[in-house]
Chains A and B, each alone.
Chain A
Amino acid sequence: MKRPTKKAASPVNRLLLATILLLAFAGTIGLATVWLRHQISDVAQANKRMQQRIVEVQRCTAETNAEIAAALNPEVLLSQNHALRLGLEMPRDYQIVSVAEPVEVRLASKQNAERFTTTLVSTALPLTTTR
């Protein structure tokens, strides 16, 4: 291969090289700008899609809430009770016991009532038989 001579470093060549470099640089800047704008557009579109999705979810939630509210309407519940023959009724006053004492103690005594009763009966039986 022929080695470049000193001629290559002449001012015209330098000018040409500078022009080519300038064009390349300008082209790169141009391409970068286009790429950047494209990226901005992509991000903006992605944001828009995300926003639309959020709005859609919110809309869906609101719609579901409205449907739940309609389904919880006492009239609807009563008609469902009737249609499905569930036989659900309001609790009666006599079914409710007002507990004045601490409920934990009451539940514990209820839980253990049978155990204590069984013990008493088993010890009581021999006494009865001896009599």
Chain B
Amino acid sequence: MRKGFASNARLLVLSLGVFACFAGLATRLVWLHWLERESYTAFLEKARKQTEIELPRRGDILDVRGNRLAASRNLIELGVDPQDLRSEDERKWPELARLLGMPLTQLEPLLRRRFAAPADAEVEGVDAAAQGRPVRWVRLSEEVEESAYTQIQSLAIKGVYGIRHYRRVYPGGQLASHILGYINKEQTPVTGVERHLDFYLRGQAGWRESERDGHRRELAQFRSREIPATDGYDVVLTLDMFVQHIVEEELEAVAKKFQPESATIIVGDPNTGAILALANWPTFDLNRFNTAPLASQRNIAITDVYEPGSTFKIVASSGALNDHLVTPATVFDCSLTSVIYGGKPRSLPRDTHSYGNLSVAEIVGKSSNRGAAHLGIHLGAERLYEYARAYGYGEPTGYPLGGEVAGVLHPVARWDGLTITRLPMGHSISATPLQVHCAMGAIASGGVLMRPWLIREIRDNLGRTVAAYEPMPRRRVVSRETAETMARLLVEAASAEGTGKAAAIDGYQVAGKTGTTQKLIDGHYSTSHHIGSFVGFFPANRPQVQITVVVNDARVLTGGPGYGGTVAAPSFKRIGEQLIPYLGIRPADATVVRPVIAMTGNAR
């Protein structure tokens, strides 16, 4: 055999070289897998797979113009790993304390807490380090803002780090508090939109499976599965922040002036059933919900019932008109104290003034109780009940956020002898302010009862519409002609001769009805505690805005009862006057001449 280049010596050297390499490799393997096994295994344990949860950002709640009523802010929970702290960073601690707004004396013990105290009593003679386990996380602050956190990061204190989380904020404070609801400390939606649309708002958490190194840093190249978080959808409401603000300011004024037990104002578009504003007094700040009494968190507009009083008179009068039993000119003798109905004499309720013959138009305009009783009797118990049901009394309005009560409207079989004369004037029945609002809305919309429209649409975070909600008619209550006739009669009620004259707005035809109810206290109607209300809309022949004002137990300085015309109608006027320029409401009556000061003043 020829050896060629590979002589024995060369082969030997080469073999030794290769052997030495393999021997070195084997030694290293033994070193790693046997001698240093423990430390490297511990290291590998740290570098095992990790699952990281990515929290979604909760969707915003917007008003109809895109203003944010509820948003999620990014805050940082700041903490420290005392094991990682370096002594050379101690000089930075005072600055850290300043940024956290915490005295250094309070911060220092937290930073120096390297070992947790044992659960049981300390064992004498054994120091804390030996007794407790090492502390790897001490919370320094629950909510550090982004700007402060950036400064803290620039300090570069090893071991101090933050965990980002979202916190719900309500930029308007108490604005629309009863509609929005809130998220509590446990991140659970409690009431309102937050709760009922939580499915859309909350989003979906994402997660990521990967590995981390010994320094607990993620090794991105070892990501095996990744499901990104899906942020929550935005909810757009029909509310208008500015209208809501006007309403809440008015409620504040009412509360200051009359010191009522409670008050509610609802503003809506009667043609669609859209709620532009809904507010109650007392109210609360959504950012400080935990300090607010539960009573102030109740949405009175849908949870509290009262006797609607004269605002209910639209039911008997429109019913009688719709059934062609009467015309606006039909006259009733309102001086009678009783009438025969069903073969029995029925006493008629008293009026505040003595009236003689009143036409249907006058009955509505002057809000005659006896006149309304006549109309009820003319209509008959069954039809009166049917109309009351058709107007939505005795059943929920379909308020989309739930929690509303149905009110009380007894079937005819449960009526006593007086109900036929008392129901037409709004007694023997109880309803929520929203029910009363919706019932009047049926007149304003041309005879159609609309469902309250509060949720306009759901949008994803790119602004695309995911779900849109449309106005929803519930049923036709009266014919369009009857509704228009009724609106004309209601204009009289809000005119200089009517009970609601304080609601009149210059240059605009206001249609509306006052209501004053004695409160039931200890089973008796009180003569000193009243619920005053006004429900109306304008312009009367082309309604664009409907406003309902209910003031519960107002204290009138003059000492008289809190009549609807005194405590509620002025609020209607003040709100209406502010809404005219904002919503661009034009007077329906074209013949009304109005000065053009601003235009002529700037004309060139």
> Binary interface profile of A, 85-129, with partner B (CB < 8 Å = 1, else 0)?
000001111111110100000000010011000000000000000
Q: Is the CB of B67 within 8 A of A72?
A: yes
* A58 CB, min distance to chain B CBs, angstroms: 8
A81 proximal to B (CB < 8 A): no
Q: Is the CB of B507 within 8 A of A93?
A: yes
* A107 CB, min distance to chain B CBs, angstroms: 11
B126 proximal to A (CB < 8 A): no
- Contacting B at CB under 8 A, from A42-99, are 43-45, 47-48, 58-60, 62-63, 65-66, 68-70, 72-75, 90-98
Give the complex CA separation of A80 and B347 in angstroms: 61
Q: Is the CB of A65 within 8 A of B68?
A: yes
Contacts of A98 in B (CB 8 A): 586-587
* B171 CB, min distance to chain A CBs, angstroms: 4
B172 proximal to A (CB < 8 A): yes
Q: A37-B221, A100-B590 are in contact. Are A74 and B241 (CB under 8 A)?
A: yes
* B217 CB, min distance to chain A CBs, angstroms: 10
- Contacting A at CB under 8 A, from B64-91, are 67-69, 71-74
The A contact surface, by secondary structure, is helix
Contacts of A93 in B (CB 8 A): 506-507, 577, 580-581, 594
Q: Is the CB of A41 within 8 A of B221?
A: yes
Q: Is the CB of A73 within 8 A of B72?
A: no
Q: Is the CB of A66 within 8 A of B173?
A: no
Instruction: Give how many A residues have a beta carbon under 8 Å from the other chain's beta carbons.
Output: 43
Q: Name the residue on B nearest A16 (C-beta).
A: B6
Q: Is the CB of B242 within 8 A of A91?
A: no
Q: A12-B4, A97-B596 are in contact. Are A110 and B175 (CB under 8 A)?
A: no
B143 proximal to A (CB < 8 A): no
Q: Is the CB of A69 within 8 A of B171?
A: yes
Give the complex CA separation of A45 and B596 in angstroms: 67
Q: A73-B172, A93-B507 are in contact. Are A44 and B221 (CB under 8 A)?
A: yes
> Binary interface profile of B, 161-188, with partner A (CB < 8 Å = 1, else 0)?
0001000010111010000000000000
Give the complex CA separation of A94 and B506 in angstroms: 10
* B38 CB, min distance to chain A CBs, angstroms: 27
* A18 CB, min distance to chain B CBs, angstroms: 13
Q: Is the CB of B5 within 8 A of A8?
A: yes
Contacts of A44 in B (CB 8 A): 219-221, 223
B353 proximal to A (CB < 8 A): no
Q: Name the residue on B nearest A58 (C-beta).
A: B57
- Contacting A at CB under 8 A, from B11-41, are none
A33 proximal to B (CB < 8 A): no
* B392 CB, min distance to chain A CBs, angstroms: 32
The 8 Å CB contact of B72, one of A11, A13, A62, is A62
Give the complex CA separation of A70 and B145 in angstroms: 15
Q: A41-B220, A69-B67, A97-B599 are in contact. Are A63 and B3 (CB under 8 A)?
A: no
B460 proximal to A (CB < 8 A): no
Contacts of A92 in B (CB 8 A): 581
B123 proximal to A (CB < 8 A): no
B463 proximal to A (CB < 8 A): no
Q: Is the CB of A66 within 8 A of B68?
A: yes
A40 proximal to B (CB < 8 A): yes
Q: Is the CB of A66 within 8 A of B169?
A: yes
* A101 CB, min distance to chain B CBs, angstroms: 12
Between A and B, 25 residue pairs with Cβ closer than 8 Å are A7-B4, A12-B1, A12-B2, A12-B4, A16-B5, A43-B221, A45-B220, A59-B164, A65-B60, A66-B169, A66-B171, A69-B67, A70-B171, A72-B68, A73-B175, A74-B242, A74-B245, A75-B245, A90-B582, A94-B597, A94-B598, A95-B597, A97-B594, A97-B598, A100-B590
- Residues in B lying within 8 Å of A, measured CB to CB: 1-6, 57, 60, 67-69, 71-74, 146, 164, 169, 171-173, 175, 218-221, 223, 241-242, 245, 506-507, 577-578, 580-582, 584, 586-587, 590, 594-599, 603-604
- Residues in A lying within 8 Å of B, measured CB to CB: 7-13, 16, 37, 40-41, 43-45, 47-48, 58-60, 62-63, 65-66, 68-70, 72-75, 90-98, 100, 110, 113-114
